[in-house]
Copies of this chain bind each other. A is one copy, B any other.
Amino acid sequence: MMTLAEIRAFLDREFPQIVAEGRYTVEALRPRGARLRAAYHENQIRPGGTISGPTMMALADVSLYVTVLASIGPMALAVTTNLNINFLRRPAPRDLISDCRLLKLGNRLAVGEVSIFSEGEEEPVAHVTGTYSIPPR
């Protein structure tokens, strides 16, 4: 399994555009799990003062990717094959926190779930399940 420092270095090197300016931060790693933060920016706002759906989908996708990567190592180029999101509550205009855990880590497929929260809230604003295809090694 990769360490927090290793995964951060990997993202800095391979995905500079998504970690630039602190857009996403990996806050914690655990076996088969991770917690990430997506920094609030006013261009995420939609009419009514809520954060856009794609902002939450993107956070979920990054969270699943990071969790799979930390579990199988940085060589593999895993790709998302399915993502299902339920929007539960209107997020407040502040940082989003994701909590991801893998439900399955197989040879060919990894499946995980992600709960997304407005920072400081207990009830999730969205819930996601996603599948990653793992290439032959």
Contact = CB atoms under 8 A, between A and B. Distances in A.
A67 interface: no
B82 A131 contact: yes
How many copies of this chain are found per oligomer? Answer: 4
A28 interface: no
Interface residues of A, number: 37
Contact of A57 (B54, B88, B103, B104): B54
Interface in A99-137: 103-104, 108-109, 111, 113, 123-124, 127, 129, 131, 133
Interface of A: 14-15, 17, 43, 46-48, 52-54, 57-58, 61, 77, 79-89, 103-104, 108-109, 111, 113, 123-124, 127, 129, 131, 133
